[in-house]
A and B are shown apart, each in its own frame.
Chain A
Amino acid sequence: MTPSRAAFAAILAKDLRSELRTLQSLPAMSLFSVTTFVIFRFGLDRTSLSGSLAAGVLWATLLFAAVLGINRLFVAEREEGGFDAIRLAPIDRSVLFGAKVAALVIYLAALELVAVPIFAVFFLDGAGGLGPLVAVLLLADLGLAATGTLISSMAVNSRARDLLVPLVLLPLVVPLMIAATGATEPLLALSGPSYHRFGTWLMVLGLYDLIFGLVGYAVFDFLLED
Chain B
Amino acid sequence: MPPPSEQAEPAIAVAGLRRDYGDRPALEGVGFELAAGASLVVLGQNGAGKTTLLRVLATLLRPSGGEVRVLGCSLPDEAWKLRGRIGYLGHEPLLYRDLSGRENLRFQARLHGMPRSAAEARIGELLQAVGMERRADERVAELSAGMRQRLSICRCVLHQPELLLLDEPDSNLDVEGRELARELIGPGAGTRVVVTHDPERHLPEADQVLRLGIGEAAVVS
Write the residues of chain A forming the contact surface with B, with a CB cutoff of 8 angstroms. Answer: 1-3, 6-7, 9-11, 14, 17-18, 21-22, 76, 80-82, 84-91, 225-226
A226 to B64, CA, bound (A): 11
Closest to B112 in A: A89
Tally of A-B residue pairs with Cβ under 8 A? Answer: 83
Take A2-B113, A226-B62 as given contacts and tell me if A82 and B94 are in contact as well, using a CB distance cutoff of 8 Å: yes
* Chain A CB within 10 Å, residue with most, of B58, B86, B88, B94: B94
Whether B90 pairs with A10 at a CB distance below 8 angstroms is no
Q: List residues of chain B with CB within 8 A of the CB of A17.
A: 98-99, 103
Chain B contact residues, majority secondary structure: loop
Take A3-B113, A84-B94 as given contacts and tell me if A10 and B107 are in contact as well, using a CB distance cutoff of 8 Å: yes
Take A7-B110, A89-B108 as given contacts and tell me if A14 and B93 are in contact as well, using a CB distance cutoff of 8 Å: no
Whether A18 pairs with B83 at a CB distance below 8 angstroms is no
Contact of A81 among B83, B92, B112, B139 (CB under 8 A): B92
Whether A88 pairs with B58 at a CB distance below 8 angstroms is yes
The 6 A-B pairs with the shortest beta carbon distances in the complex, nearest first, are A90-B84, A2-B113, A10-B110, A81-B94, A89-B111, A81-B92
A86 to B113, CA, bound (A): 12
Contact of B60 among A22, A82, A84 (CB under 8 A): A84
Whether B103 pairs with A88 at a CB distance below 8 angstroms is no
A86 to B94, CA, bound (A): 10
Chain A proximity mask over B49-62: 1 for CB below 8 Å, otherwise 0:
00000000011111
Tell me the smallest distance from the CB of B49 to a CB of chain A, in Å.
15
Closest to A92 in B: B80
Give 15 A-B contacts (CB < 8 Å), ordered by A residue.
A2-B84, A2-B112, A11-B111, A17-B99, A18-B96, A21-B99, A22-B98, A80-B96, A88-B60, A89-B111, A90-B111, A90-B112, A91-B83, A225-B62, A226-B62
